[in-house]
Amino acid sequence: MTRADLKAGRAAKGWSQTRAAARLGVSQPYLAMLENGSRRVTRDLAARVMSVYGLPPTALPAESPHQDVDAGSLASDLAALGYPGFAHLRPRRWRAKNPGQVLLSALAQDELEARLVEALPWLLLRYGNVEHEWLVREAKLRDLQNRLGFVVSLARRAAAPGRDERMVERLKGLEAALDRSRLAREETLCKAALPEPERRWLEANRPDEARHWNLLTDWTPDHLRYVA
């Protein structure tokens, strides 16, 4: 969360620094230091700012993806971001994490349930303003560019006709950036324990996009129940 986010959020509310500071539970001088960049916005304060100012979760600081995250935690994170498939979990919005962080944390798992894989294209469609440079950088650091590239392809192809063309073009740009560092090795889409017979079947029958990204998977946009 940048100082520009803080200023823009307060301006959108039409609040003075004094009123905004009171709503955020900080002093006016401290808010002034946050807005001029002399103090860093903490994770807890960023969540409070998002809730009070009504900012999108993409304004939250994006922490490094986590390798070991259990399915329940990922489901809760997706529910907090508004994913319809987990609406029954009823999480509090202020507990939301940056969508890019949730996306890469999910893709970093060796094994991922289908219900969680299905939610990942939705994240990209729902939060089209997620920071692409950060996504590419973090994906490359963890060799996740093939998995991410395929999910981006699913999201772009699942976009409804007549959708915001700028967002679709952004997804195309993200695909292109990831494609420049595409890995030659073959892997699965978070299914490390895939049986050998299924591996052979997928190698012969996977869709073109999966073949392009060197993934053994049969996911297509038709498998997605929810698109943003």
Over range 1-16, report the average pLDDT: 88
Location of each CATH 1.10.260.40 domain in the chain: 3-55
| Residues in Cβ contact with 166 at an 8 Å cutoff, skipping those fewer than 6 apart | none
d(CA 178, CA 114): 23
Give burial (CB, 10 Å; 0-12/13-18/19+) of 31. Answer: buried
Q: Sign of the C-alpha dihedral, residues 68, 103, 146, 181?
A: negative
Q: For residue 194, is pLDDT > 90?
A: yes
Residue 162 pLDDT class (50, 70, 90 cuts)? confident
User: What proportion of the chain, given as a percentage, has pLDDT over 70?
Assistant: 97
Residue of 72, 58, 71 whose CA lies nearest to 9: 58
d(CA 58, CA 121): 16
pLDDT at 17: 94
- Of residues 61 and 94, more confidence is placed in 61
In DSSP terms, which residues pair with 187 in a beta bridge?
A: 215
What is the CATH number that goes with domain 3-55? 1.10.260.40
The pTM score is 0.85
d(CA 150, CA 215): 8
Strand locations in 54-165 (E): none
- Of residues 36 and 160, more confidence is placed in 36
d(CA 115, CA 78): 11
